[in-house]
Structure 1
Amino acid sequence: MYKRFLLPIDGSPPSEYAAAVGLALAKRLGASVVFVHVIEPQRYRELHDYQEALERARTVGRALLEQWERKAQYLKVACATQLTSTQPESRPGVAEALVDAGVAHGCDLVVMGTHGRTGLPRVLLGSVAERMARLAPTPLLLVRGDDTKPTLFKRILVAFDGSVYSELALQHADALAGALKAKLSVVYVVPDLTQLYLSAGRAWMFADQAQLQAQLSQEQARLREQGEFILKEATKRCEHCTQVHTILREAGRSLIGERICEVANEEKADLIVMGTQGRTGLRKFLLGSVAEDVAQEARQPILLVRNPAALTHPEERHLPPPGER
């Protein structure tokens, strides 16, 4: 399982909560953590003098790192800290600095906080978290909110559709559930063919509406059978978790992401695991996709697992896979 967590901290409530979640999870998994703070002098513009703003940023960063180092020592979790900065002359941006830190320390999981009540797309797109999802091939655990008590991850839900991306997500969800002795639920949402036909403009192929409905009903039944088969295969692939519960849900007139969130709430899941695809990372995966809908609706933390085979962009870092350093 994961051996070393990268925990970015910036002093905001979401960042503090995410760090607490990451630290508690590392304790349970016997992993070490790396707290990283990226110096941002621009946050102290009121000082006007750059050197003074830079020194203030360093002082605040050191204080944050020392605070979290003490918390890790109290929990007896091995930790390292790093105060780093952006490099405008070469690779500007907080995300790049965090990825560099992750590479240097051999981290295999990133835990980050997100802001707001209006959904992840508003927060992530064009933000540090979105950039991290594009640059870092490690799984990314996104934690929303600023609760005082970290979740224990007793019930894990993984969205599965049989694709290579969801296969990898299932592997991570299974390993994590096994390590935490958590209940694992696997959900497959059957898409609604009526909506697909309408959106694809294929309804014109059937002049007779009765013929159209008969055809759709027949194909919808095949999709349900396919979903049942996919779920059975999913349970066979789970090697670490002894409590696997499968759920087949019809999308109906709802979005697939909405159904996943409904199931997450019904199962009282405290973690949703999903696969991401494509070399453009979270932006491509979120826009107009199932993950976007889940991110908008879900209150639970979301673990995004990216397929390393898709990492072909030259600016993407190749971090070690889970458990290897």
Structure 2
Amino acid sequence: MYQRILLPIDGSPPSEHAAAVGLALAKRLGASVVLVHVIEPQRYRELRDVQEALERARTVGRALLEQWERKASRAQVACATQLTSTEPESRPGVAEALVDAGVAHGCDLVVMGTHGRTGLPRVLLGSVAERMARLAPVPLLLVRGDDTKPTLFKRILVAIDGSSCSDLALQHADELAGALKARLLVVYVVPDLSQLYVSAGRAWMFTDPAQLQAQLAQEQAHLREQGEFILREAAQRCKHARVHTVLREADRHLIGERIREVAEEEKAELIVMGTHGRTGLRKFLLGSVAEDVAQQARQPILLVRNPAALTHPDETHLPPPGER
């Protein structure tokens, strides 16, 4: 499973909580952590002297890293620290500096904090976390900043749809659940064809309402059979965890809403979802199932992106889980 976890540290409450979750997870997995602080002198604009602001930023960064290095030592988790910056000014931002650190240390998971239960989209879009999701093919675990309860990940939910992206998410969820001795819940939500017909403008094809309803019922039954098949195959592919499958009809509800509903019913402590596309999380979130889940779910979310989707020349390739 994951062998080296990147923990960005900036001193904010979400960062502190996420680092604590990441450190506890590393201990359970027998992994090491890499604590990284990115120096941002612009945070000290009240200091008129640029050099003085830079030194203040370095001092704060070193203190934060030393504090978390002591915590890692007490937890008996091997750690490395890195103080880095976005200097010179021509260099890209914080996310790029974190990705560089992840590459240098061979990290295969990133754990980051988000600001509040409903703040995830605002924090991600155009932010460090969104950039990290776009640039790094390694999984990104997003932890709510307002959730201070211990997270043991005893119940893990993975949402699948039969795509290659969800297949990779299933693989990660299975291995993680096995390593943590957790129960794995595999969920498939059957789309509501009546909504799809209306949104696609296909209802006009049927002048007879009874004919339309018959066609919808037939195709809906086919979708359900397809979902049952996908779940059976998914359960057979899981080799590491105790698996329970759930097929849920959307039935005029959003698919993301149904996923969150199952997560609450089953008391899931982690939701795993796949991402796809050249532009990564931004493309996957906007107008999608993941946007709804990310915006509303109370649980931490593990986003797994297929490295094969990284075709843009400015995107860096990080190693798959466990490889060096």
Same fold flag (TM > 0.5): yes
Contact 1:35–1:82 (CA under 8 A) maintained in structure 2: yes
Q: For residue 287 of structure 1, what is the aligned residue in structure 2?
A: 286
Letter in 1 for 2:302: L
CA distance in 1, matches of 2:149, 2:203: 51
Q: Quote the Cα distance in structure 2 between the aligned partners of 1:59 and 1:261.
A: 42
Kept after mapping to 1: 8 A contact 2:117/2:297? no
Query: TM-score by structure 2 length?
Result: 0.98
Offset from partner CA, 1:256-290 (integer Å, 9 cap, x none) = 01110000111100000000001111000000011
**Residue matched to 1:113:** 113
Following the alignment from structure 2 to structure 1, what is the Cα–Cα distance between the partners of residues 278 and 284?
A: 10
Which residue number in structure 1 is paired with residue 252 of structure 2?
Answer: 253
Letter in 1 for 2:91: R
- Separation in structure 1 between the aligned mates of residue 120 and residue 206 of structure 2, nearest angstrom: 40
Post-superposition offset of 1:50: 1.1
Distance between the aligned counterparts of 1:307 and 1:121, measured in 2?
21
Superposition deviation, residue 210 in structure 1:
1.0
> In 2, are the aligned partners of 1:24 and 1:150 still within 8 Å (CA)?
no
Unaligned runs of 5+ in 2: none
Structure 1: stretches of 5+ with no match in the other structure: none
User: Is 1:317 aligned to 2:311, yes or no?
Assistant: no
Give 1:319 shift: 0.6
| Residue matched to 1:153 | 153
Which SS does the other structure have where 1:46 is aligned?
coil
Where does residue 240 of structure 2 map in the other structure?
A: 240
Distance 2:308 2:105 in 1: 22
Deviations 1:228-259 (A, max 9, x none): 11100000000111x10000001111110111
Does the CA contact (< 8 Å) of 1:249 and 1:259 recur in 2? Answer: yes
Alignment of 1:1-325 (within 5 A): 1-241=1-241, 243-325=242-324
- Give the secondary-structure state (helix, strand or coil) at the position aligned to 2:187: strand
Farther-moved stretch of structure 1 (71-80 vs 110-119):
110-119
Counterpart secondary structure, 1:252: coil
- CA drift at 1:145: 2.3
Once the 2 structures are TM-superposed, how far is the Cα of residue 106 of structure 1 from its aligned partner? 0.4
Give the counterpart letter for 1:317 in structure 2: T
TM-score (norm 1): 0.98
Residue type of the partner of 1:86?
T
For 1:122, the aligned partner's letter is R
CA RMSD of superposed structures (Å): 0.9
Aligned residue type for 1:272: I
User: Contact between 1:153 and 1:271, CA under 8 Å: does it hold in 2?
Assistant: yes
Separation in 2 of the partners of 1:206 and 1:48?
A: 71
Q: Which amino acid aligns with 2:154?
A: K
Counterpart residue identity of residue 282, structure 1 = L
Letter in 2 for 1:197: Y
Shift of 1:147: 4.0
Equivalent pair of 1:17/1:150 in contact (CA under 8 Å): no
SS at match of 2:211: helix
Counterpart residue type for residue 134 of structure 2: R
Shift of 1:91: 2.8
* 8 Å contact kept, 2:15–2:145: no
Which residue type is aligned with residue 255 of structure 1? L
Where 2:45 maps in the other structure, the secondary structure is: helix
After alignment, is 144-153 or 130-139 more displaced? 144-153
Distance verdict in 2 for CA 1:148–1:212, change over 3 Å: closer
| Alpha-carbon separation, structure 1, partners of 2:147 and 2:128 | 22
SS of residue in 2 equivalent to 1:210: helix
**Shift in Å, 1:119:** 3.8
C-alpha displacement at 1:293, in angstroms? 0.6
Q: Cα gap change, 1:89/1:53 in structure 2, threshold over 3 Å: closer, same or farther? A: closer
Equivalent position SS for 1:92: coil
Measure how far apart 1:150 and its partner are: 3.0
